[in-house]
Structure 1
């Protein structure tokens, strides 16, 4: 296993286009570096649901624990030079704060887990809620809930003083700009 891969995390509220953005970024970076060096790590929600836990607004304390466990496992198992993570612990912590399904000590634990994990991330891309994606996922999450998650994603980034690139996922040039920033750092 590699000692220090370049880890890119994509974060934001549900329905902002994280998965679409990740796939596009992956295609650009794979074109430059090849399959053996770049990986898109996605499917977190599907894996958690397949384990019998609810995700999103339906998650309970057990579901939150399963989500954080999966975040930790995914990062531990990175074996490429460049990893793009579709969702990260910032998203999970935003849900912890909004759902209020955890005890005080569990919340403190998840805060520390997120802080620790963030030390390994080389790039944080925060996709913002935009008009383009506003209606897309209305059936999955209540708009007020999505807005609260969105606010908490920003709050975590600010409170932890994380260097994030804030991006409108509907901006067609955003993937190219982020890819260039990554290429300039990876060389």
Structure 2
């Protein structure tokens, strides 16, 4: 079989041994360009996929059901079959009907000279359900200001879809991390009072 040519920023294409789909919450297959969960067909069981969570049948049932392994990762697929990563299910921000992954926004912010580290999360918003927030650790020589906030917002807006820019920017000295150095977005969400489920939007609002 012919291997796919690498495409910058893409995860690539699934290897032939696995049947992989991007699915909606109801288990239907997403359209091209539509964000959903990466799922792997389990019938027949492919090599390398776990059998179960050890002594945790409830967790196993939440991951493997209806013949699919639900990875908890979200992505979208382009017209050529390349997968593009969005983020973990728990980290995806649902804002005004859009599903926004923090990974893309964080990657763009880190390209700015003023940003040393950052974490993108959602904060409750009465109109949008959630608003995009960037928590930023600045590089040496930079100071947080309204002017810098507007500059960072414009930076993201011009490099991604306009609706993805962070409406809130908070400057901090350090980000909460695990012992392995992984940023704990959940700690930021908890501090901001953000639940995993988005508040119901007014009818007709997108």
Q: Please give the range of the TM-score, normalised by the shorter of the 2 chains.
A: under 0.3
The higher relative CO (CA closer than 8 Å, separation ≥ 6) is in: 1
Structure holding more helix per residue:
1
